[in-house]
Chains A and B, each alone.
Chain A
Amino acid sequence: MIGKGVLIGAAIALTGASPASAHPHIFIDTQIAISFNAAGLADGVRLSWAYDDLTSLQMIADRGFDADFDGVLTDAEADALSGFDMHWDAGYEGDTYVFVGDTPVLLQGPSDWGATYANDVVTSVHTRRFTTPVAVADLPLVVRVYDPSLYSGYFIVGEPTLMGSSHCTAEIRKPDLVAANKLFEAALAQMSGDVENDYPALGSAYAEEVRITCNAPS
């Protein structure tokens, strides 16, 4: 069945069964800062999301801001912009996931938010406090940033900041695309049409993360 071979080969090559998903429409440069309390426990993460400049332009255009197009918002517009991405729908987890080892750390909703528009880029900041502060000892603290649906792509930029801790180090880890693609194909093979439930694992497979390890204070 040469014909069949050709057709299947073509279907694979042309439709790119390789991840449609690794194709975010919104690119978000993410800066991460971990805070530690006086007892040395990690108690929250502060995030800065800089939206790609096309998305930023669209946000400004949607709101009819910056009518003279000089790149500067009026004070009223700047106030109105603050918190624009902080009113979350029920079930939206905020695209930030924290673990100690493999155990999820529960996060509170966003707080201390703000947003700015400068150099044609909209940047928002917010904090997610941990419901219970956690010790970072034998197991690393892992902050993963991803949109389960992969519509937005989060890319960690800059060095992660560790506030209130002198004996911890942070390391940025990029996803293993080959492994992620394998997962994607496995999910595709199992897909029952219930894409809602198949997708979350995928966003996480393509996630960038910060891994924080601490030496016991001497």
Chain B
Amino acid sequence: MQRALLILGFVLLGLLAVLWATGGFAALQTWVLAGQREVQSTLADAVRQIKRGQPGAFLALLSVCFTYGVLHAAGPGHGKVVISGYGMGRRVPLLSLSLISFGASMAQAAVAVAFVYAGVAVLGWTRERAHGVADQIMAPVGTLAICGVGLWLMWRGLRGLQRQFAVKAHDAHHHGDDPHVHDEHCGHAHGPSVADMDRLTSWRDVAVLIIGIALRPCTGALFLLILTWQLGIGASGVAGAFAMGLGTALVTISVAVLSVWSREGALASLPAQTVARALPWFEMIAGGLVVVIALTMFSQVL
């Protein structure tokens, strides 16, 4: 049963929440922490091996960077907030959202490379200066961009609701208070239909999401890029930054799958006619959550 499968997505998410609430994540956290240290050590090892010209070192660096990307993205992160917010809020197809996640991760790596080579290589910044600019300028700007994505989702949800109310007023005028006719009319003619929603993934949406995510550089990538540049093995660092991006993409794509799954699960549990009416609410609430989380991050980066 497709519907049962969809609702399972919702149940899965509930279980995650319970696990989190009961402290079940503490064990996971210890594991991630140990993993993080392990990865840092392996990363240092790979960089040293490249520097010492040992064979196989480049592949070792790519693989550890990929792992680093996965581990790092598995913690709290802004990319997941944006992707899950958008995935919950809009009826975006799974493939589109996955491609956006992938594109955003690659763009984020490209921004890190451009930032480090413009700052450190061209302008001669020290490592501290580069991290300072990243933390004090790039991070707040990136967070504001994410906040903007949230506001934009809320605004669109609000507009969707406005349209519904306009339609309702229109229907009330024509049909008096017969609820059955009213519902049918709303669902079939004037209300934003599910098909309408599906078509709304425009290039503008894609650009906003990718920029929103990519502007906030990943500290790990900056770190690696600067270190490898200092050691005179910059090309390996650039390749490593993109390998980290691939790792991050794996996680954000999983988040995209989860958010689409749970959104469809929740929608599947609603009667068919109310789906179209529920969507703007989803968008509003998801947008609101993105804004709240972005503002929390903002207070932390300032």
Taking Cβ atoms with an 8 Å cutoff, the residues of A that contact B are 2-20, 22-25, 27, 52-58, 61-62, 64, 69, 120, 153, 177-178, 181-182, 191, 193, 195
Chain B residue contacts of A8, Cβ below 8 A: 17, 289
Contact flags B17-60 to A (C-beta < 8 A → 1, else 0): 10010010110011001001100110111011001100000000
B267 to chain A, nearest CB (A): 8
**Known A-B contacts A9-B13, A181-B25; A54 and B231 likewise in contact (beta carbons under 8 Å):** no
**Nearest-neighbor residue (CB-CB) of A19 within chain B:** B29
Chain B residue contacts of A9, Cβ below 8 A: 13-14, 16-17, 262
Chain B interfacial residues counted at CB < 8 A = 57
Q: Are the CB atoms of A4 and B299 closer together than 8 Å?
A: no
Task: Find B299's partner among A20, A62, A193 (CB 8 Å cutoff).
Answer: A193
Q: Are the CB atoms of A54 and B44 closer together than 8 Å?
A: yes
Q: Across chains A and B, which 8 residue pairs bring their CB atoms closest together, nearest first? A: A177-B26, A54-B44, A13-B16, A178-B23, A9-B17, A193-B299, A16-B76, A54-B40
Q: Are the CB atoms of B289 and A53 closer together than 8 Å?
A: no
- Given contact pairs A13-B16, A16-B76, A182-B23, enumerate 19 new A-B contacts (beta carbons under 8 Å): A2-B10, A6-B10, A6-B13, A6-B263, A7-B289, A10-B259, A10-B262, A11-B293, A12-B16, A12-B20, A13-B17, A15-B80, A52-B41, A54-B43, A57-B47, A58-B223, A120-B44, A177-B26, A193-B299
Could you give 14 example pairs across A and B, Cβ below 8 Å?
A2-B10, A8-B289, A10-B84, A13-B17, A13-B20, A15-B77, A15-B293, A18-B25, A18-B29, A52-B40, A54-B43, A69-B51, A177-B29, A191-B296
**Known A-B contacts A23-B75, A58-B227, A193-B299; A3 and B84 likewise in contact (beta carbons under 8 Å):** no
Taking Cβ atoms with an 8 Å cutoff, the residues of B that contact A are 10, 13-14, 16-17, 20, 23, 25-26, 29-30, 33, 36-37, 40-41, 43-45, 47-48, 51-52, 74-77, 80-81, 84, 88, 126-127, 219, 223, 227, 230-231, 255, 258-259, 262-263, 265-266, 269-270, 278, 281-282, 285-286, 289, 293, 296, 299-300
Task: Find B285's partner among A4, A24, A53 (CB 8 Å cutoff).
Answer: A4
Q: Are the CB atoms of A10 and B48 closer together than 8 Å?
A: no
**Known A-B contacts A19-B29, A53-B45, A57-B48; A7 and B286 likewise in contact (beta carbons under 8 Å):** yes
Q: Are the CB atoms of B282 and A7 closer together than 8 Å?
A: yes
**Nearest-neighbor residue (CB-CB) of B26 within chain A:** A177
Q: Are the CB atoms of A62 and B230 closer together than 8 Å?
A: yes
B159 to chain A, nearest CB (A): 18
Chain B residue contacts of A6, Cβ below 8 A: 10, 13, 88, 262-263, 265-266
Chain B residue contacts of A16, Cβ below 8 A: 25, 74-76
